[in-house]
Amino acid sequence: MGLPRSGTTLLEQMLDCHPAVTGIGEWEGVRLLSDAAIASGHWPENSLSTPQSLLQAWQSSYLTEAEFLRGSNAIWSLDKSLDSWQWLPLLSITVPGAALISIFRDSRDMAISMLLGNFHPTTFGWTGSLDSIYRDVSTHRRLLPAAVASFGMPSLTVKYEHLVEHPHEVMERCSQLLGISFDPATLAPEANQRTVLTLSHEQVRRPINRDSIGRWKHYEWIFDDRWTDLAASHIA
């Protein structure tokens, strides 16, 4: 449960090193699930009247593909779809056995990384403007914790800066959430040979490092007080 450039690829790469976990990337499962829900006419206005048979069909469609991508050895599929945080109400009733890992990063570092990135102009067109990035980041920060608490799904919150500075601690917490034992292999994501198709593909080939922390300071002049307040809440 993270925004673009928040550290989702690194976290996935680390957990994918665990034999019980398979990172299945940014596949279209959540988007197909949400499209089906909207097309049914039941979502979101009449969600409580959605027939059980329809919910089960959506669940089966999602899980069939997720389990296929996972393969035979692992027991967890790690879906890092960047749309998933917007669909927690739907996910809570279609895949109630899911565990949620929310990752947050200094909003200014995320904003700079988004602006310098090459995102799809339609799907992620909002990443091309500092104002629209602020709108979406602040919305994400406000809604996600409340939504996770409301639906009562097993969850864990990770701060990106803490992940790179104390990876052992974070991986132990993730392992506890998933009910699996900690594996030291998760601390060496650069050794992972899986294909990475996100903008972080080159970064995750290097050992865990702090190089991207504080990058925003090179562009400090573009951030006004609202960003300072948003960053202060993250640091706190």
Which residues share a beta bridge with 22?
77
The predicted pLDDT at position 202 comes to 61
Residue 104 token pair: 């947050």
Domains recognised in the chain with CATH numbers: 8-235 (3.40.50.300)
Residue 33 token pair: 């699930």
The predicted pLDDT at position 127 comes to 86
The predicted pLDDT at position 205 comes to 62
The predicted pLDDT at position 72 comes to 77
The predicted pLDDT at position 48 comes to 85
Which residues share a beta bridge with 100?
155
The predicted pLDDT at position 190 comes to 83
- C-beta separation of 137 from 110 below 8 A: yes
Q: How many of the other CB atoms lie within 10 Å of CB of 126?
A: 16
The predicted pLDDT at position 221 comes to 94
Q: Name the stretches of the chain with pLDDT < 70.
A: 120, 122, 194-205
The predicted pLDDT at position 186 comes to 95
DSSP line for 91-138? HHHHSTT--EEEEE--HHHHHHHHHTS---TTTTGGGG-HHHHHHHHH
**H/E run at residue 9:** helix 8-16
**H/E run at residue 76:** strand 76-78
- What DSSP designation does 73 have? S
The predicted pLDDT at position 200 comes to 55
Could you give the CA distance from residue 147 to residue 100 in angstroms, rounded to a whole number? 11
The predicted pLDDT at position 204 comes to 56
The predicted pLDDT at position 220 comes to 94
